[in-house]
Structure 1
Amino acid sequence: MAERGRHGAGIQAVAARSGVAKSTIYRRWSSRDELIVDALAELFAVGETTLPDDPRAQLRVALRQLHEQWSDDRFRRIMRRVAADGSEAPGEYRRFRDQLVSRRRTLLLEILGRCVAAGLIRAETDLGWAADLLVAPVIVAAMTHRNDVTDEQLDFSLETVLSGLAPPRL
């Protein structure tokens, strides 16, 4: 995937590179796209993390984990390819997004819900959009070859989003 994209990661190519017969691969995966989604799910795997009690600190941990994942060179190269291939196969891209990003996104939405409960974010906030605001700087930096994102920049993004979503002061 990192070298040739979706089109270059066919069953034949995977079989040749892995040194197994195509039939061995087809026993587990019925198509190239199914194989790719499973391979990316492995790459996208998120380990269990103990989160602090404070919702703001939980967001900080989640943002740093996202940054750590996107800081991995192999991950970044693959994700750049996935994004490029997504313009040619939007249906597969949506399937990838829905299957692979949903676990991390669900956790982020849960944390944002805790922020609402703690009074850090207005109740009427679209939490999906808030999640996008938080992750966008990390992903944009990785996709545009900026590998120099600092913890201070992550904190700035987090605090900027939280201050913009905060309930009005009385």
Structure 2
Amino acid sequence: MTIQESGTARPAGRPRSEKAEKAIIEATLDLIGEGMGVSELSIEAIASRAGVGKTTIYRRWSNKEDLVVDALSTLKAPLPPLTGTSVRDDLISLLDAMRREAGHTRSRCVMNIAMSEADRYPRLMERFVKRAIEPRREAMRAVIERGIASGELRADLDVDMGMALLSGVMLWHTKWGPAGDLPPDLAERVVDAALAGMAP
């Protein structure tokens, strides 16, 4: 800490700039959205796109993987509010969040990276899953377990299988389904189809 002539203390080093951080995150997402894979992505390219120096990036992130995890995590919208009134309504809310995210180019690129580069960057994917995917997975697990406890779902239901059925069907529609906008009632149809086998 340095002491100015006025006698007031000033913290050493530059203050963190939220504007610079936002520009760096946006630049990273833009480059990924344009089809650049993690291996091709460079700190130099990100700095150039963001209009900052490389040192500005390295002051905030120690390596490229840390930056990519933070950037990708910003694409996952917060968990939708769950009313708790019925298992069906809460599952529809969770799946509809997946449908809405799939409509954004950047979100589709996240899925492409997750599918194609997980083997090359296991640490990156592990950390991304922990930060962005696990909270949603745990929310769905809690809803299904609540449904079993309340009698809305079968007592012998395999929770992991139920989660796979719901999220797997949505993944198929968002990644490999027919081209074009996903129908607004997709989540409702998927949940109702799954509940036909999951209900008592």
1:162 aligns with 2:195: yes
Corresponding pairs, count: 167
- What is the SS of the residue equivalent to 1:86? coil
**Residue 34 (structure 1) shift:** 0.5
In structure 2, stretches of 5+ residues that fail to align are 1-31
2:127 to 95, 110, 120: 95
2:15 match = none
**Residue 148 (structure 1) shift:** 4.0
TM-score scaled to structure 2, two decimals?
Answer: 0.73
Structure ranking higher in helix proportion: 1
- Greater relative contact order structure (CA < 8 Å, 6+ sep): 1
2:95 match = 63
**Residue 122 (structure 1) shift:** 2.5
In structure 1, stretches of 5+ residues that fail to align are none
1:27 to 53, 59, 76: 59
Alignment RMSD, CA only? 2.1
2:85 match = 53
2:4 match = none
1:136 match = 168
Report if aligned partners of 2:118, 2:125 keep a CA contact under 8 Å in 1: yes
Report if aligned partners of 2:42, 2:64 keep a CA contact under 8 Å in 1: yes
Worse-matched range after superposition: 158-167 or 148-157: 148-157
TM-score scaled to structure 1, two decimals?
Answer: 0.85
Sequence identity, in percent? Answer: 28
Distance 1:45 1:60, change over 3 A: closer
Distance 1:73 1:34, change over 3 A: same
**Residue 128 (structure 1) shift:** 2.7
Report if aligned partners of 1:70, 1:139 keep a CA contact under 8 Å in 2: no
